[in-house]
């Protein structure tokens, strides 16, 4: 495949019609230096994917090694990180069902190995993940979290947090209740048998976001939930740290579509950190269910522009307590890195309470990267906006691969201030402590 030319073969439309609907930069769990870049455009009837290879030492930068069209309307995608025999296998969700994609499978023009149409009413939701060593796939539909067999698509497990089952076809009240029921906003795997899912309550206008986050055990029929947070919390973008598997992150979302344009333009996201060890276990210091605080003296919430709902928050695979934040507001997209640390403060009851402090920094754009790697030439509004980004591998610590709306790749590097330096007089080291 001619990776750079394939995208140019798509029908040309006026730039205002080619608006980015969703995009991902996925880091391979098997192949060092390999990423999958996926994007979907309104006005086009396909989803476009490129397999990209790059290393921090490469002078030429990222290289497209494969390109293909995927099924349309992909809403969620997950790389199979269990099966070494199928290193390029993915699960994707669209409105009509779930696809198993294998980039090594050339018998299908979209590399589709299997398609499973859901037996439930309604459209598939915002999350998909591999579970049980790659034998199962977890996904969401409405307010339900499901598990299906990866080989046959048969349902294995179902958790319905809020009942929306219709008892009578003319039950108008039930129809309204189902419409107003909380729905799954995001999900992730905590381990091979434990799902963490966030439910968002419907919002009216500029009302404050609220919801709940629960842990679900796939080994228990119909699920066994443990609530780790509820109320005015962030339930979007749930992700787990690979270096500290007990840490989860989530963020608040943007105002609803029915909100005012002024509120949408000024939308801010707050970040929440969840230590699952502190729920149901006797660890010192209760975790305060509050967003990450800034380092100012007032400890006000750390706010960012509106984070993208797909991949807007990612834990660093090489540096502890570090998040990648992809901000997408009304003025364009940009990449930020958030460094965090724990702080204990006295609460009103006289005990200690754990809180998280954070610091946000802009990531440094690597010189020349954004102008030399043309990723497809599709014209769109805001050609310099970053619409997707993902961390590099351990061989590229602190590096991020980004995608612009015009299809260009751009490399970012984490700004790391010097914490230790040689003493001016020699013979010793001077360290700068964390605030």
| DSSP per-residue string spanning 415-429 | -----EEE-TTSSSE
Residue 135, pLDDT > 80, answer yes
Q: What is the mean pLDDT of residues 228-249?
A: 92
| Distance in angstroms (rounded) separating the CA atoms of residues 201 and 182 | 4
Residue 55 · residue 70 · CB < 8 Å: no
Per-residue pLDDT tens for 180-225? 778 899 999 999 999 999 999 887 656 677 899 999 999 998 777 8
Residue 55 · residue 396 · CB < 8 Å: yes
Q: Exposure of 204 by Cβ count < 10 A (0-12 exposed, 13-18 middle, 19+ buried)? A: exposed
Residue 256 · residue 183 · CB < 8 Å: no
Of 33, 139, 97, 44, the C-alpha closest to 395 is 33
Which of these ranges, 42-56, 158-172, 411-425, has the smallest mean pLDDT? 158-172
Of 144, 142, 150, the C-alpha closest to 125 is 142
> Which of the listed ranges 256-260, 284-288, 361-365 does the model predict with the highest average pLDDT?
361-365
Which of these ranges, 208-212, 300-304, 386-390, 429-433, has the smallest mean pLDDT? 429-433
Q: What is the pLDDT of residue 419?
A: 56
pLDDT band per the 50, 70, 90 thresholds, residue 343: confident
| Distance in angstroms (rounded) separating the CA atoms of residues 15 and 275 | 44
DSSP H helices in 106-170: none
3-class secondary-structure state, position 262: helix
Q: Across the strands, what pairs with 158? A: 146
Structure-token pair, residue 412: 């970012």
Residue 90 · residue 27 · CB < 8 Å: no
Residue 242, pLDDT > 50, answer yes
Of 38, 7, 124, the C-alpha closest to 378 is 7
pLDDT higher at 22 or 272 = 272
> Which of the listed ranges 82-91, 125-134, 170-179, 198-207 does the model predict with the highest average pLDDT?
82-91
CA quadruple 234, 235, 236, 242: dihedral sign: positive
Residue 329 · residue 267 · CB < 8 Å: yes
Q: Across the strands, what pairs with 140? A: 145
Residue 61 · residue 54 · CB < 8 Å: yes
| Distance in angstroms (rounded) separating the CA atoms of residues 216 and 224 | 6
> Which of the listed ranges 40-44, 146-150, 403-407 does the model predict with the highest average pLDDT?
146-150
Determine what percent of the chain is predicted with pLDDT higher than 90. 36
Q: Across the strands, what pairs with 314? A: 324
Q: What is the mean pLDDT of residues 129-138?
A: 94
Residue 63 · residue 374 · CB < 8 Å: no
Give pTM, 2 decimals.
0.82
């Amino acid at each position: 495949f001619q990776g750079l030319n394939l995208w140019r073969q798509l029908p040309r439309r006026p730039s205002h019609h080619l608006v980015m609907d969703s995009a991902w930069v996925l880091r391979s769990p098997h192949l060092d230096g390999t990423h999958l870049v996926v994007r979907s455009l309104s006005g086009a009837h396909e989803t476009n994917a490129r397999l990209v290879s790059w290393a921090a030492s490469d002078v030429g930068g990222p290289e497209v090694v494969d390109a293909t069209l995927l099924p349309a309307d992909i809403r969620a995608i997950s790389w199979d990180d269990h099966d070494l025999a199928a290193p390029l296998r993915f699960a994707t969700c669209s409105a009509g069902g779930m696809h198993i994609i294998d980039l090594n499978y050339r018998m299908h023009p979209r590399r589709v190995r299997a398609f499973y149409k859901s037996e439930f009413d309604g459209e598939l939701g915002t999350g998909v993940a591999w579970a049980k060593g790659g034998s199962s796939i977890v996904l969401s539909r409405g307010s339900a979290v499901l598990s299906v067999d990866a080989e046959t698509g048969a349902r294995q497990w179902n958790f319905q947090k809020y009942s929306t089952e219709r008892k009578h076809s003319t039950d108008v009240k039930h129809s309204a209740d189902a419409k107003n029921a909380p729905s799954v906003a995001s999900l992730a795997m905590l381990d091979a048998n434990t799902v963490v899912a966030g439910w968002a309550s419907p919002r009216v206008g500029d009302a404050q976001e609220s919801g709940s986050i629960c842990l679900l055990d796939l080994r228990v029929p119909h699920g066994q939930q443990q609530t780790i947070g509820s109320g005015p919390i962030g339930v979007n973008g749930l992700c787990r740290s690979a270096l500290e598997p007990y840490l989860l992150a989530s963020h608040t979302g943007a105002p609803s579509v029915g909100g005012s344009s002024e509120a949408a333009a000024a939308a801010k996201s707050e970040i929440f950190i969840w230590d699952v060890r502190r729920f149901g276990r006797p660890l010192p210091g209760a975790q305060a269910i509050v967003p990450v605080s800034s380092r100012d003296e007032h400890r006000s919430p750390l706010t960012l522009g509106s984070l993208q709902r797909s991949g807007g928050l990612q834990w660093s695979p090489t540096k502890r307590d570090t998040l990648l934040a992809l901000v997408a507001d009304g003025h364009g997209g940009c990449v930020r890195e958030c460094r965090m640390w724990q702080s204990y403060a006295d609460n009103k009851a006289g005990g200690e309470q754990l809180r998280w402090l954070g610091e946000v920094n802009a990531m440094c754009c690597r010189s020349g990267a954004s102008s030399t790697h043309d990723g497809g030439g599709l014209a769109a509004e805001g050609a310099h906006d970053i619409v997707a980004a993902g961390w590099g591998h351990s061989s590229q610590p602190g590096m991020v691969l980004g995608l612009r709306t015009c299809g260009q790749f751009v490399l970012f590097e984490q700004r790391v201030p010097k914490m230790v330096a040689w003493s001016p007089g020699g013979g010793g080291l001077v360290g700068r402590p964390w605030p």
